[in-house]
Amino acid sequence: MFYSKIYPASWSLIKNNLFLLIFGLFASVLGFHEVKIFFALSDTSPDFLSSTLTFWLQLFDTLAVADLTWSILPSLLGLVLIFILLVAVIILSISGQGALIKSAAEKNGRLKNRFSEYLHQGVTKFWPLFGLHLVNIILGYFFVSTVINPMIQFVAMDNSRLEYLLISLLVFFFIFPLIIIISFVTRYGMAYVMIKNQGFLEAFTNSWYLFRINWLITLENSIFIGLVTILYLMAMATAMIFIFTPFFFLSTFLGALGFALYVLIMMIGSLLALFILVAASALYGAYYNIVWAKVFNELVAPGKSHSQIYRLTQKHFPRAAR
């Protein structure tokens, strides 16, 4: 199965091109949507894009009816600066994600293009990539939080067991699967945009067909990379404990010599832990996006790909695999 080729190749690509970690750091801001919704269907908490859009929609709604005077001009200027900063982060995050997807299309371990060239390609494709993210936001967060959840709560308050059961079945057997499918479709759509140079609508349509044909491989890969995510989180937690604990005990023993020494040691330990957290986020952000892009490359390559489940079924139960 091509998993044994994709996962090591993704690691090798990052190892030989460390500038991809910069893209990974910004891409990690967007989160890991496919793994999140696959392992936590009931979690409707907003991600960075959702929370940012929600904040500004609420702010503009407040400003529309507020009594604006010259006294609040400094506050408005501060909001403008925050807005510019958030827009810059969004552009860099989505463009960085696009750059990672583009880099995964290279056959060799060492990339020919430089950091600035990949960033330029990501920025050029920002709007179709942003449009695909909006599809995820509208269905994955706004629709669930503003329509589905209130509907379930309303039915539950009405004490109608039959209606509550029907709504729950509708949500868990139709709405949530639809959200998961859209997440995978938009993931492949980003690859169509960056690698195949397609527009938003064409990429979304083709990615739907690609997912429909390879839905089992897609779900299988999401489980594999979900396991990698769990191992990553466990490694991060362990590293934090082993790194921060010595500084904690050292600051406790030497703190008797003076409060300033205690603060200094704790600051050094905290900065080291922060550095490791940022580096690990950059590494995993790059790895996660490159793995999905390489899966896409395998699925669109000539020949038919089969999932590991299909191969095992074909080997042990050949009649069932027909």
- Tokens for 91, please give them: 């552009």
322 assigned to some structural domain: no
DSSP letter at 156 equals H
Residue span of the structural domain in which 93 resides: 3-316
Residue with tokens 């892009």: 293
Instruction: Give dist(CA 146, CA 173) in Å, integer.
Output: 19
CB 177 within 8 A of CB 28: no
How buried is 49 (Cβ within 10 angstroms: 0-12 exposed, 13-18 middle, 19+ buried)?
buried
pLDDT at residue 316, as a whole number: 42
321 assigned to some structural domain: no
Give the chain's domain count. 1
Reference 33, options 54, 53, 48; nearest CA is 48
- Buried/exposed code over 153-183 (b: 16+ C-beta within 10 A; e: otherwise): eebeeeeeeeebeebeeebeeebbeebbbbb
158 assigned to some structural domain: yes
Q: In whole angstroms, what separates CA 186 from the centre of its chain?
A: 12
Residue with tokens 């921060």: 244
Instruction: Give dist(CA 207, CA 292) in Å, integer.
Output: 13
DSSP letter at 72 equals G
Reference 295, options 230, 228, 199, 234; nearest CA is 228
Question: What is the reported pTM?
Answer: 0.84
- pLDDT, tens digit only, all 322 positions of the chain: 567 889 999 999 999 999 999 999 999 988 776 666 656 555 555 677 877 777 777 777 776 666 767 777 777 788 888 888 888 999 999 999 999 999 998 876 678 778 889 999 999 999 999 999 988 877 766 666 666 666 666 666 665 666 666 766 766 677 777 888 888 999 999 999 999 999 999 999 999 999 999 988 898 898 889 888 888 888 888 887 877 777 667 666 665 555 666 677 777 777 888 888 899 999 999 999 999 999 999 999 876 554 455 454 544 445 544 5
CB 240 within 8 A of CB 276: yes
Write the DSSP string, 219-262.
Answer: HHHHHHHHHHHHHHHHHHHHHHHHHHHHHHHHHHHHGGG-HHHH
220 assigned to some structural domain: yes
Reference 6, options 312, 321, 309, 289; nearest CA is 289
207 assigned to some structural domain: yes
Q: What's the full length of the chain, in residues?
A: 322
pLDDT at residue 262, as a whole number: 66
